[in-house]
Each structure stands twice: as C-alpha cells, then as structure tokens.
Amino acid sequence: MAVKIRLKRLGKKFAPYYRIVVADSRTKRDGRVIEEIGKYHPTENPSFIEVDSDRAQYWLSVGAQPTEQVLAILKLTGDWGTFKGDKNAVSTVKAPEGKVEFTVDEQKKTVLKPKAEKKAEEAPAAAEAPAEEAPAEEAAADETATDGDQA
C-alpha cells in the first residue's frame, strides 16, 4: 500500500485551511485518512503551521512519501532535515506576533454618558407622564358616566 503525507482541504470558498494527513495514495483528497499529523492555515499572516514532529518522523521512516506542498512545510519545520540526518535542522516557522492591547487616551473627554445615568434621567420623566394622563382619563370617564345617566 502506497502511503502519502498530503494536505486535506477544509474551510470555505476563498478561505482555505488544511490538515496535514497520512492517507493511502488511492483515496480522495478529502477522503478517509490514516492519521492527522498537523495543521496549515495559509491565509493567516504569518501562515500558521503546526506539525507533530514525532509522528511525521515515524511516517517518513516507514516510507510515506510527502507531496510537494507538504515537503516544503516539512523543510520549514525542520522535520525533513532531521529525517535526512541533518543534526542542525531547525524550525524556521515564524511565530505570530501578539495582539497590541488597546489603550484609552485619557486626555480626551468621554462623549458618551454611562447607561445608568441615562436610565436614571428617563425614569423620573416616565413616572411624571402617566401621572398627568391619569386625571385626564378619569375626567373623561366621569363625563361619559354622567351623559349615560341623563339619557
């Protein structure tokens, strides 16, 4: 059985990401796999590459053939050099930089009022409005009641 180490495509249109898998060479690209040994996200900057080195070394040692794309990834991670016997093989994969924390400029004055203050201002105004409407409704009800008695 010919075994290949290749990429299995996941994601959606125009947003691919891949799993590095070990599969029989006769299976479909996204078909059944023997083992997943890594991840590759080319759309991130820098590209995210993660390979389980022990499993990659094992599969290379038992004769699995990497595809061109996977061979390039294995060279970046240093696994191909290690397999070929290079003692100085080192991973050259760039780690993503951490996100910069947002800081507020304290010299500028805030324009928005906190929600608690807005609700506190609206509550007394809302309480006054129904109180004003209630006497008017009672007066209208009294007039209709007196009109009905006269007829």
For 75, residues 6+ apart whose C-beta sits below 8 A from its C-beta are 81
E-strand ranges in the chain read 3-12, 15-24, 35-41, 48-51, 65-66
Give yes or no: residues 77 and 125 share one domain. Answer: no
Q: Return per-residue pLDDT of the chain as tens, 151 residues.
A: 789 999 999 999 999 999 999 999 899 888 888 999 999 999 888 888 899 989 999 999 999 999 999 999 998 888 888 887 777 777 767 766 777 777 777 777 767 666 776 666 676 666 666 655 656 566 666 666 666 555 5
Q: Is 134 in contact with 128 (CB distance < 8 Å)?
A: no
Structure tokens at 92: 């050259």
Structural domain count, the chain: 2
- pTM confidence score: 0.59
The percent of the chain in helix, strand and coil, each rounded to the nearest 5, is 40, 20, 40
**Structural domain span for residue 137:** 114-151
In a domain, 93, yes or no: no
Give yes or no: residues 120 and 59 share one domain. Answer: no
